[in-house]
Amino acid sequence: MEGCLRSAADDTTIRQVRTFRYQEIADRLRDRLAVGEFAAGRILPSEAELSHVYQASRVTVRKALEQLRADGMVDSRQGFGWFVAGETLRQPLGHLSTIEAQLEASGVRSERRIVDFGLVRAPDAVRAVLGSTRVLRVRRVNLADGQPFARVTVFCPEELGATLSRAQVAQSSFYDLLPIRLGGAVQTIEAAAASTEDAELLQIPEGSPILRCERVTSDAEGRPVLVGRYVFPGHRTAFVVPLSHVESSIAPSGLRLVR
């Protein structure tokens, strides 16, 4: 009977070991973050993976991560798991501008990585908008401070895009390259889940929340000349719409029901 009993001193020692263990893991993760192993917005290894690496229970690992969250170093979102905390990249929708211009205005270094470039048969939905059977299709990944931030596909009518080169679209926006005067754009944003391809390109878990955006840009006469399709990681992106006056309804401006 006595051999089954545990003293108060023993319980204190066990609690200290557990406390020291999660603090040790938190410190080791803190060191990895300090040297830049994981950049802002980057998804961390899963709790199961960290449990294996540090030979600790998931409860202990989660407690270490929660300590880092309390310090403002990491955060978590449903569908993403844990990621390195950083300022949300905000994009204003009040005027026509490029992703790059918006990021650089916020002090974020922007970069483009071309994935695919060439003239193709226009998808039915794009042909219906642009009225062209052949289009220049450019697929790229946009980087923010070296980390994937958006997957972008842009379609341009052949008569406008046939003379453009891969190098040109890697360095400049279609807004600067097209030999026409642009008018405005209509942008539609909806929530979705990351496909296998988007997960790989954006370095996020497959099925995790994304914001999917389609922008149709028109020339000064109102004719559609560009169709842009964008995918943004949901945990890093916020779209901001300035409202010039108070609406009678509390619903967001432009909100519509998708059936």
117-127 tens-digit pLDDT? 999 999 999 99
Is 194 found in the same domain as 160?
yes
Q: What is the CATH number of the domain that holds 122?
A: 3.40.1410.10
Q: What is the mean pLDDT of residues 227-234?
A: 91
CA geometry: angle at 200 spanning 119 and 226, to 5°?
30
Task: Tell me: do 71 and 199 sit in the same domain.
Answer: no
CA distance 23 to 7: 25
Please report, for the domain that includes residue 56, its CATH number: 1.10.10.10
Tens of pLDDT, residue by residue over 175-200, are: 899 999 999 888 888 888 889 999 89
Average pLDDT over residues 141-149: 85
Q: Quick one: average pLDDT of 228-247? A: 77
Task: Tell me if 245 is assigned to some domain.
Answer: no
Do 190 and 77 share a structural domain?
no
Residue 82 has a pLDDT of 84
In this prediction, residue 15 has a pLDDT band, given cuts at 50, 70 and 90, of low
- Within this chain, do residues 41 and 13 fall inside the same structural domain, yes or no? yes
> Tokens in use for 88?
């949300």
pLDDT score of 3 more than 50: no
Q: Is residue 251 part of a domain?
A: no
Residue 239 — pLDDT band, cuts 50, 70, 90? confident
State the total domains in the chain. Answer: 2
Of the two residues 182 and 242, the one the predictor is more confident about is: 182
Residue 130, in any domain of the structure: yes
Residue with tokens 């999660």, as numbered in its chain: 22
Between vectors from CA 236 to CA 232 and to CA 239, what angle results, nearest 5°? 70
Same-domain status, 121 and 232: yes
The string of pLDDT tens digits covering residues 23-47 is: 899 899 988 888 778 766 677 888 8
When pLDDT is cut at 50, 70 and 90, the band that residue 234 belongs to is: confident
Percent of the chain having pLDDT more than 90?
A: 34
**15 and 122 belong to one structural domain:** no
**2 — pLDDT class (breaks 50, 70, 90):** very low
> According to the model, what pLDDT value does residue 206 have?
83
- Residue 224 located in a structural domain: yes
Residues 50 and 172 in one domain: no
Same domain, 193 and 131: yes
Does 250 fall in a domain? no
Answer whether residue 19 shows pLDDT above 60.
Answer: no
Residues 78 and 94 in one domain: no
**Model pLDDT, residue 158:** 96
Same domain, 93 and 79: no
Dist. CA 93–CA 17, nearest whole Å: 52
pLDDT at res. 151: 93
Q: What is the 3-state secondary structure (H, E, C) of 179-198?
A: CCCEEEEEEEEEEEECCHHH
Question: By residue range, what is the domain housing residue 66?
Answer: 2-84
Q: State which of 51, 68, 84 marks the end of a domain.
A: 84
pLDDT of 247 over the 70 cut: no
pLDDT of amino acid 94: 55
Task: Give me the chain's average pLDDT, please.
Answer: 81
Q: Are 198 and 230 in contact (CB under 8 A)?
A: no
Degrees to nearest 5, angle at CA 203 with 71 and 103: 70
Instruction: Output the pLDDT for position 204.
Output: 83
Q: Are residues 123 and 64 in the same domain?
A: no
List, for residues 67-108, the tens digit of each pLDDT value. Answer: 888 888 888 877 667 877 766 666 655 555 666 776 676 677
